[in-house]
Amino acid sequence: MKYEDAFQDCLAGLRRGESLDAVLGRYPEHASRLRQDLLLTGALREVPGSLPSRPGSDQRAWVAVQTALRSQRQARSGRRSPGGGLPGLFGGMTRTALVGGAVAIVAVIALALSTAGGGPDLSEPVSSLIGSSNAEAATFDGVVVDNAGGVLTVQTATSLETVNVAATASINSGGQRLSLPDLAAGQAVSVKGKRLGNGSVAAMSIESQNMAALRDWCSLHADECQKLRDRLEMVVGQCRTSNRPGCQPIELRLRELRDEIAGATGRIDDLKGRCDSGGALACRELKRLCDQYKNLCKSVNQKAPGQKGRY
Amino acid sequence: MCVLRIKSEKVVSLAESRPAVPVGRSTAGDPIARLKDLDPDAWQDFFNEYYKRMYSFAYVRTGDIEAAEDIAAEVFAAAARGIERYRPTGAPIGAWLYRIARNITADHLEGRRRRPSVSIEGAEIEVESPNWSGQLDERSDLLKSIASLNRDHQEVLILRFFHDCSVTETAKAMGKNEGAVRVLQHRAIVALRRRMETSGKAGRR
């Protein structure tokens, strides 16, 4: 028998659990060389378990993968909105996510706490304003920061919106009907309604999003995400102090935001160090990440004088 | 264990391959469709299944922890960018991922060759070949020897013995036929043994 065939047969035998001597016994004419080569393959098999790696490398890589996935979702979402309008922020999300309740474009965080000042003008019934032909259509995504007395405060990509929710407004999550108190702080939502004369919005429908949508919103609006995190830190602090019920879901969402920001900061920090040491792959990945996390990148750059604006 | 196929992946023939699942069509249970759909859970599973393999593949070929991390991350990022165009060819999706890893690693090594040296704290250090200086255990000799083999020899050894892929699986990952893989494996073992003998390490194990 040819040596190559004998070698293959011995490998198969070892794989089946036969001993080295047993498989070598079948090929006495090649035994000496086979022994050397089979011992070498045995040593090769032991290598992967002993390879060095840095702690947290898989988490850092996962951040990069998530960034790529979000970019893809955005790109697909853009392709599905050829009219030039703003593509839905959650429009490119997976069908699994859609089935699970994630369909919309923006995340909204609502909290059952009162906001300071700037309440809506309710001198006119919301329902009549919705029907007004002069009212401008308003559609946006965001995260609920406050939910008090039929009024939501929603952090969007550009501002804080006051959203009046009439009794007739539909509130849903993946086809399931919700009630207004279900929209707690940290909840991502998509709002459709009409802009009122005082700048607030009268909601006609609100779609509640899942946690993945919150992370995506945070990733796509990194600067606002940081503001949102600060607001939720305050809300959670107040919630704990006053021992109000329903703090836990808000804390969970806050944890998501913290993790998102901390993960991105760690990855940027790590890539920057390697990019500065001449790692071309790290520089490319850093640039990609910094297109998304502009403020975070600025703050990392500030740690290294003379490198400002480089990425 | 060689895991080129993800959980419940159906291997379809080229004739059965189809474009991305249209919007609205159910993709439940079809992991490839879920990946194409950018389903976060499907991607998390895919990443968990393959990250260490991609890392070890890149590490053995580069000898550089940080570069291996970057390459492994870039493999998945490239996969996310390219999954929409991925068409099942009869080979499991892991084979596709390995091919991405091969290309990115080759690009990285090519870039490193073009940059002959880097300055670290004033000292000019050649970076043409993997630097195993951090490897103090006896396996560093084996890794050095593997790193000195040509690309095909390295890859066949990594797939066959690091990741325990069968000849058929290795052939699919490398885009070669099974006969070619058997020959390549044999030559790789011979070349590796000679390298080890040259450095006086073969036969000690």
- Chain A residues in contact with B192 by the CB 8 A cut-off are 40
CB–CB of A64 and B77 under 8 A? yes
Closest residue by Cα to residue B70 from A267, A303, A307: A267
Q: Which residue of A has its CA nearest to B115?
A: A278
Tell me what pLDDT residue B200 has. 64
Across A207-226, average pLDDT: 80
Higher pLDDT pick, A193 / A109 = A193
pLDDT of res. B181 = 93
pLDDT of residue A135: 63
Residue range A118-162, pLDDT digits in tens: 443 433 444 444 444 456 788 888 889 888 878 999 988 788 899
Q: Which of B169, B177, B175 is nearest to B151 (CA)?
A: B175
How close, in Å, is residue A29 to chain B by CA atoms? 17
Among chain B residues, the shortest Cα distance to A288 is held by B77
CB B71 to CB A281 under 8 A? yes
Q: Which of B25, B65, B193 sits opposite A37 (nearest CB)?
A: B193
- Rounded CA-CA distance A97/A102 in Å is 5
Q: Which range among A106-115, A218-227, A242-251 shows the weakest confidence by mean pLDDT?
A: A106-115
Domains of chain B: 8-18+31-114 (1.10.1740.10), 136-205 (1.10.10.10)
Q: Determine which of B41, B66, B198 to mutate to test the interface with A (most A C-beta atoms within 10 Å).
A: B66
Closest approach of chain A CAs to the CA of B65, in angstroms? 6
Among B59, B67, B135, the residue with its CB nearest the CB of A279 is B67
Backbone angles phi, psi at B176, to 5 degrees: -125, 170
Q: Give me the interface pTM, i.e. the ipTM.
A: 0.72
| d(C-alpha B65, C-alpha B54), whole Å | 12
Q: Using an 8 Å CB-CB cutoff, list chain A residues near B28.
A: 96
